[in-house]
Chains A and B, each alone.
Chain A
Amino acid sequence: MNDRYVVRVEKMEQVTPTIKAFTLSSNTATLEQFGAGAHLTLHLPMGNRQYSLINNPLDMKNEYKIAVKNLGSEQGGSRYLHEQLEVGDIIEVSGPDNYFPVHLEAQHYLFFAAGIGITPFLSMMSYLSTLGKTFELHYAAPHVENCPFHEEITNKYSKQAYVYLGSREEKRKKLKEALRNRKVGTHVYMCGPKSFMEMLNDSTKELHFPQRVVHEERFRPALVIRDPKPFCVSVNGKDLVFVKENESLLERLRNEGYSIPYACRMGICGSCEVTLCEGEVLHSDSFLTEQEKKSKMLSCVSRGVGDIAIDVEQDGSEK
């Protein structure tokens, strides 16, 4: 996967009054392939922003397409993209990466989208159509004018797409109805605002969907600690260890004689895990689950804030 590279804005299209689509390309580099549900990270003056790729992965002609809703906030990335960016501009990006892959073992797909949450499903629907797999889209929006890609979707997927406009209560009822009486092997994918996702998650639980067939974009990208600070660690309730700003907890512990195993030193393999007993931690790995982060940390990348207490195994086994 490419770390950071530049692309050129080839094209901009106004999709709705608040949504613009951008086509990004390169004359010099071959852009990497991506899967349905993948996203691109844009490095903007105000920080990094992730946007789903909306083109068909099987019909990628050295270009990436994204759609961005202008959220309007003064310092916002979306406002910058809408108001500052012009065709021909160069922007720095990384990826594509995919936290929302479409699982080919599904017998049937139910997609639930609200508003700009439609974007990952655009690549999924065109991909699955090419493969001849069956799916349905259940799409909620306040009005037709605020329903991005409404026309394209209803034309292209007239048999698969259900659009819900009406009142909130009515939408809820219909969305829930759409989940009922599904065959084994149906997978549910959802993307939208928090309340929308919660409502759907509750309904899938109520209807006893196995939670492993219910998908949302779960993994947030790993937090990058830009300006590491020193911190103090109490180890196994006795030793006190001081980690300087320019070293990792793993390095410090190994230098102190603790034989902590390690491999990737990038927060990916989980080898360097230690038990967290007390204190606040900036987790910078992409391995632990949210639940595990409460009681564990990966010593190669994550750092304490102020004072923390940890336990490490003493036997020095490499497993």
Chain B
Amino acid sequence: MSNSSKEFPFPFTKDSYAYSNNSILLDPARSVAVSSHYIEEVKLKRNLLNQNHERCFRALPLSLEAQWEVLLLVFKELSTCEPQYFTLEQRGNAYQFTNHLLREVESFSFKDSSSIEVEPLDLAGRHVQEDLIIMGDRHDGLFLEAGQLCFPSNWSLTFVLGMEFKAIHTPVPGITDNRFIEKVERFITRIRPNSAWERKNWSVTITNKLDTPLETYSDWGKLRYNVTEANAGELVNLRVEVQRLYRLPVTNDILFSIHTYLLPLNELISNDEWLKKFYTNVKTLPKEIADYKGISLYKRELMTFLERALTQRKIER
């Protein structure tokens, strides 16, 4: 098995898929994770940030306190949970963070913006694989106030900056049915300080491209037309986002981190259980969700590919 397979957070637990609040409490609370793709993905993030900074990083002035809180939280967590890769030293207000994987040192004074070259969230994000979003918990709702977003699944940070949680979710089909998104929002506002919840979201990407922002849709969206039964195993990737919601204790805002994993179908189908679950879930996926996730264009080819794999491996449908 490859590292990608071993680490892959397979998202399906049931035989059919519907949007649900599938969050679980994380004990101990964590905001980020380091995978075997750390170095290549962090380098890719940095390239994207350097080339398209406006697209990948946005922050409102109000988020500055929370940004500093996130910077220290992430650096502390990395050095405590992965001490072989990261260390953090503190002398009064002065900090020194060492990233042994990249052989880099970051020195800064806490809450002194002149001591760093980019905004605090931007700095934190350059040392993790995750996209990092700060949701401000305001008296009138949860608002997206800052983000470092390199690997979105067809959305735009520029578009959602400053938007309220429910408004951000309006493109998702059926999301307001039974007050679903309203309940999710209330759930988030009730997350207690220093606790974290984790959920998985999934989609499908053509090629192993992590950076699929709305802004470059014209480049990667058309690849959906290229899927055939013969190339699906190579071209089609199951894309899983492990999302964490972490209540920042001091500012009381929410850190939303997204760690994206890709697995080509050729690797996925070598696990019988995964193959079967993926097949039944895509097969029974409601049309509006399939459309939203962009699967409808090549669903027939994908199904034929999966059915052939099931037959070859003698698995009952």
Contact = CB atoms under 8 A, between A and B. Distances in A.
B137 interface: yes
Interface stretch (B2-10, B32-40, B178-186): B178-186
A215 B252 CA distance: 15
B177 A1 contact: no
Nearest to A58: B250
Nearest to B136: A105
Interface string B177-211: 11010011011001111110000000000000000
A77 interface: no
Contacts of B195: 1
B317 interface: no
How extensive is the interface on chain B, given as a class? Answer: 20 to 34
A103 B138 contact: yes
Given A263-B20, A319-B19, A38 B193 contact: yes
A131 interface: yes
B22 A1 contact: no
A230 B9 CA distance: 39
Residue of A32, A212, A270, A286 with most partner-chain B CB within 10 A: A270
B23 A263 contact: yes
Interface in B39-76: 62, 65
Given A32-B193, A319-B178, A98 B23 contact: no
Contacts of A215: 139
A34 B193 contact: yes
Residue of A1, A34, A95 with most partner-chain B CB within 10 A: A1
Contacts of B19: 318-319
Q: Secondary structure at chain A's binding surface: helix, strand, loop or mixed? A: loop
A304 interface: no
Contacts of A187: 139
A212 B249 contact: no
A7 to B, nearest CB: 16
Given A317-B18, A317-B178, A101 B137 contact: yes
A287 B186 contact: yes
Contacts of A96: 193, 249
Contacts of B177: 317, 319
A26 B184 CA distance: 36
Nearest to A103: B139
Contact of A35 (B21, B190, B193): B193
Interface string B134-153: 00111110000000000000
A57 interface: yes
Interface in A221-253: none
Contacts of B249: 32-35, 38, 57, 96, 98
B21 A269 contact: yes
Interface in B184-240: 184, 186-187, 190-195
B250 A319 contact: no
Interface in A243-280: 261, 263-264, 266, 268-271
B83 interface: no
Interface string B146-181: 000000000000000000000000000010011010
B25 interface: yes
A105 B20 contact: no
A187 B180 CA distance: 30
Interface string A194-234: 00000000000000000011010000000000000000000
B266 interface: no
How extensive is the interface on chain A, given as a class? Answer: 35 or more
Interface in B264-296: none
Residue of B139, B180, B194 with most partner-chain A CB within 10 A: B139
Residue of A33, A38, A96 with most partner-chain B CB within 10 A: A33
Given A187-B139, A212-B139, A263-B22, A101 B252 contact: yes
A102 B19 CA distance: 33
B251 A104 contact: yes
A318 B18 CA distance: 6
A105 B139 contact: yes
B37 to A, nearest CB: 29
A2 interface: yes
Given A2-B194, A33-B249, A268-B190, A319 B62 contact: no
B206 to A, nearest CB: 28
Nearest to A127: B250
Nearest to B181: A319
A58 B68 CA distance: 12
Interface of B: 18-25, 29, 62, 65, 136-140, 174, 177-178, 180, 183-184, 186-187, 190-195, 249-252
20 contacts: A32-B249, A33-B193, A33-B194, A33-B250, A35-B251, A97-B193, A98-B252, A103-B139, A104-B65, A212-B139, A215-B139, A261-B20, A263-B24, A264-B187, A270-B183, A270-B186, A287-B187, A318-B19, A319-B18, A319-B177
Given A38-B193, A263-B21, 11 more contacts: A32-B194, A33-B249, A35-B250, A58-B250, A96-B249, A105-B139, A263-B23, A264-B24, A269-B23, A269-B187, A319-B19
